[in-house]
């Protein structure tokens, strides 16, 4: 992979925060994907690669997690470092200490911080005040680590990214925001179908459409799932009520009733389409069991790649 020999890109990533894909150039994102694939190869071959030996990552969790916690913790261990799990109740954040004071204090102890929280401004404030790299493990606005793993997974299964079509069916949430940025920067075509009132952020769409003019990508937001999924190479969905929106579950179930990804809908995708979901999934709601457990589903390859993509992020910015 010649990209990995690009010392200029490697140097540009060192010491950076990883808050959103929008902060990175297309060639930097692609370099991270290639690095993730190489680190995955090393792991499968049993090769030891420990650029973070002796380094420590603090992991702040204000939202519970399966994939984020396990993949970061295991990834840090495999890279030779140590990951420290910190819930809100473990920190003085739970008693009112400011994010700024927390950031400055943790910067004296750690080599990096990963945070999984609600408000995106919390991550921005943490990164602004910290003197060590900060990684966004998820906010209500963006999920860049998942998106990086997703594009790694698509590349592995399709052999390319440029020119492919992604159809996203469902809520215009943090997941679709990060996927849209990746599509625009990496040259994919993406169609999003969401009910009225649940579309992706309009300003983000405008910004990414400007990026599309430079990369040859395209973005569309439509109302009808069938229109979005027509001839798609990749079909993607997420839960109808993300974490923090559980009180809206009943209301959202009505709004999204026509947006289930099921056997009837995927007939309009390409015959060799792949199905993706960031998990956890609610079978029988946003996706039918026949699709998520069917032959086109690559959701567990996608989940595995969280480990490798995040190892690439940590190795690039913390080593």
> Of 60, 62, 42, which Cα lies nearest the Cα of 51?
42
Handedness of CA 182, 184, 186, 188 (dihedral sign): positive
- For residue 122, say whether it is annotated as part of any ligand binding site: no
Q: Is 95 annotated as a binding residue?
A: no
Which one from 16, 277, 278, 310 is the annotated catalytic residue? 278
Q: What does the alpha-carbon distance between residue 140 and residue 236 come to, in Å, rounded to a whole number?
A: 18
Residue with tokens 């579950």: 249
Q: Is 144 annotated as a binding residue?
A: yes
Catalytic residue among 238, 260, 308, 310: 238
Catalytic (active site) residue 308: no
State yes or no: 279 annotated in a binding site: yes
Q: Is 238 annotated as a binding residue?
A: yes
DSSP 62: S
Taking residue 89's Cβ as centre, other Cβ atoms within 10 Å add up to: 10
Whether 146 has a binding-site annotation, put simply, is yes
Query: Could you say which DSSP state residue 87 is in?
Result: E
Marked catalytic residue, from 116, 177, 189, 252: 116
68 annotated to a ligand binding site: yes
Q: Is 282 a catalytic residue?
A: no
Q: Is 260 annotated as a binding residue?
A: no
Give the distance from CA 209 to its chain's centroid.
20
Catalytic residue among 16, 34, 146, 252: 146
Active site residue 116: yes
Query: Is residue 116 part of an annotated ligand binding site?
Result: yes
Q: Is 136 annotated as a binding residue?
A: no
Q: Catalytic: which of 189, 252, 277, 306?
A: 306
Residue with tokens 């990026």: 211
| DSSP secondary structure code for residue 261 in this structure | B
Nearest CA to 241 out of 167, 140, 142 is that of 140
The residue among 138, 84, 93 whose CA lies nearest residue 116 is 138
Q: Is 306 annotated as a binding residue?
A: yes
CA distance 215 to 162: 9
Strand partners, 165: 189
Query: Is 12 marked within a binding site?
Result: no
Q: Which tokens belong to 163?
A: 């020119």
Choosing from 143, 252, 277, 308, which is the catalytic residue?
A: 143
Please check if 17 is assigned to a binding site: no
Is 145 annotated as ligand-binding?
yes
Is 157 annotated in the active site? no
Whether residue 174 is annotated as binding a ligand: the answer is: yes
DSSP 93-123: GGGT--HHHHHHHHHTT-SEEEEE-S-HHHH
Cite the annotated binding site for carbamoyl phosphate by residue number: 65-68, 92, 116, 143-146, 278-279, 306
Cite the annotated binding site for L-ornithine by residue number: 174, 238, 242-243
Q: Which amino acids are annotated catalytic?
A: 116, 143, 146, 238, 278, 306
Cite the annotated binding site by residue number: 65-68, 92, 116, 143-146, 174, 238, 242-243, 278-279, 306
């Amino acid at each position: 992979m010649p990209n990995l020999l690009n010392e200029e890109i490697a140097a540009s990533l060192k010491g950076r925060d990883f808050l959103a894909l929008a902060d990175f150039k297309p060639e930097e994102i692609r370099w991270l994907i290639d690095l993730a694939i190489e680190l995955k190869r090393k792991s499968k071959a049993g090769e030891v690669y420990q650029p973070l030996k002796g380094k420590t990552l603090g992991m702040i969790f204000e939202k519970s997690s399966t994939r984020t916690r396990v993949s970061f913790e295991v990834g840090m261990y495999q890279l030779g470092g140590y990951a420290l799990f910190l819930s809100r109740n473990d920190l003085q954040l739970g008693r009112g200490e400011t994010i700024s004071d927390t950031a400055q204090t943790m910067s004296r102890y750690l080599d990096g911080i990963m945070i999984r929280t609600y408000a995106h401004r919390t991550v921005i404030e943490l990164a602004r005040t910290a003197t060590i790299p900060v990684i966004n493990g998820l906010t209500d606005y963006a999920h860049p680590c998942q998106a990086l793993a997703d594009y790694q997974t698509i590349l592995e299964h399709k052999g390319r990214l440029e020119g492919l079509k992604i159809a996203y069916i469902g809520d215009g949430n943090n997941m679709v925001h990060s996927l849209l940025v990746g599509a625009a920067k990496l040259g994919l075509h993406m169609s999003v179908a969401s009910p009225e009132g649940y579309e992706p952020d309009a300003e983000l769409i405008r910004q990414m459409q400007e990026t599309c003019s430079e990369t040859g990508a395209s973005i569309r937001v439509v109302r009808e799932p069938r229109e979005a999924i027509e001839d798609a190479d990749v079909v993607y969905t997420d839960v109808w009520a993300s974490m923090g929106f559980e009180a809206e579950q009943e209301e959202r179930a009505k709004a999204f009733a026509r947006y289930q990804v099921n056997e009837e809908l995927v007939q309009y995708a390409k015959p060799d389409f792949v199905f993706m979901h960031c998990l956890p999934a609610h079978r029988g709601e946003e996706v039918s069991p026949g699709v998520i457990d069917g032959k086109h589903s690559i959701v567990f390859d996608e989940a595995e790649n969280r480990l490798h993509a995040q190892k690439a992020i940590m190795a690039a910015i913390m080593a």
